[in-house]
Structure 1
């Protein structure tokens, strides 16, 4: 009985340290006026955009000639979410080698490809990845969880859509691919 009590106490303590599922990370900084919480078939829950695609005042990017006021250019979309948030394949994808991705994506980024729909999707700042290079991942499969590795501003995911086999220069606005939807939208 004493051992059971200790186990229950340990589980309660672990749950309290993890915080509630919708807990806000005190390190989050939002570089957008958009306060909408979006859902997506790519992740669980509804979450806010931290750094939008394109010109941004976020301090992590060097000034870019495409942007005014010495702002930098963000090639993806950062979505704030608690660490451990599950990620799902919204369509069938193949896991590609991630060795071409630098440290800005964290130490365990995922590179997914769908040739039929003509995209590569880079997902940065993942914690645990349940798939391996070469795997074909079926639609609806949980393949990773969110983390804060390589992210100075707390737990979030970086989504970057590229051309198949493309590099950073081929990045395009990823919002249509992510199918971001306000929770109350029909």
Structure 2
């Protein structure tokens, strides 16, 4: 398994697709969606593990908006090999992430675009190449994906919020992520 992980990291650093064998055995998918999605925010095409909204994933307490004992997931979790490159999908400013809790890992990224009216929380990053105050342009490499703070393997958590808004302002991030199903 260790060799496969190194292969996946090397492939990500070189911008190549990770081999099928690099699948993280800790991944659990709480959706019937089998599509692989591309996005300007990350390299490659990857599956959604947990979609935005009501979910049966066991990490969330019951939410009155959801049926039965389901919880509410405020973002989208996308499974991808550790080391997958993250790119700015839009112009944004890097802001301090200290207001975010430990659920996002040790070093999440918080991006802001006041003009378009959103903050984007990106959880479970490994190596971050930017710091608060930096301005990103579309296509800028800013971090690598990780399993930091994630019990279910390497993935990224994308959460769109209102500018300076808390968790209660989270909205469906699919349009911001420009997810496109791979044919």
Q: What TM-score comes out, normalization by structure 2 length?
A: 0.91
Aligned length: 171
Tell me the distance in 2 between the aligned counterparts of 1:183 and 1:75.
Answer: 24
Q: What's the secondary structure of 1:19's corresponding residue?
A: helix
Aligned to 1:84: 83
Larger Rg, first or second structure (1 or 2): 1
Tell me the distance in 2 between the aligned counterparts of 1:103 and 1:91.
Answer: 26
Aligned to 2:148: 149
Aligned to 1:19: 7
Taking only aligned residues, the RMSD between alpha carbons, in angstroms, comes to 1.2
Tell me the distance in 2 between the aligned counterparts of 1:182 and 1:52.
Answer: 14
Aligned to 1:175: 174
- Contact 2:111/2:120 (8 A) holds in 1: yes
Compared with structure 1, are the counterparts of its residues 149 and 52 closer, same or farther at alpha carbon in structure 2 (3 Å cutoff)? Answer: same
- Contact 2:35/2:182 (8 A) holds in 1: no
Residues 140-178 of structure 1: CA distance to partner in whole angstroms, max 9, x if unpaired? 100000000110000000000000110000000000100
Aligned to 2:114: 115
Aligned to 1:64: 63
Tell me the distance in 1 between the aligned counterparts of 2:177 and 2:53.
Answer: 16
Tell me the distance in 2 between the aligned counterparts of 1:47 and 1:135.
Answer: 28
Q: Which segments of 5 or more consecutive residues in structure 2 lack a partner in the other structure?
A: 9-17
Tell me the distance in 2 between the aligned counterparts of 1:82 and 1:17.
Answer: 8
Aligned to 2:129: 130
The Cα shift of 1:54 comes to 0.3
Tell me the distance in 1 between the aligned counterparts of 2:29 and 2:117.
Answer: 30
Tell me the distance in 1 between the aligned counterparts of 2:155 and 2:50.
Answer: 10
Q: Which segments of 5 or more consecutive residues in structure 1 lack a partner in the other structure?
A: 1-13
Tell me the distance in 2 between the aligned counterparts of 1:105 and 1:71.
Answer: 21
Tell me the distance in 2 between the aligned counterparts of 1:183 and 1:71.
Answer: 29
Tell me the distance in 2 between the aligned counterparts of 1:18 and 1:98.
Answer: 29
Aligned to 1:4: none
Q: What's the secondary structure of 1:157's corresponding residue?
A: strand
The Cα shift of 1:15 comes to 5.9
Tell me the distance in 1 between the aligned counterparts of 2:5 and 2:56.
Answer: 33
Q: What TM-score comes out, normalization by structure 1 length?
A: 0.89
* Deviating 4+ runs (over 2 angstroms): 14-17
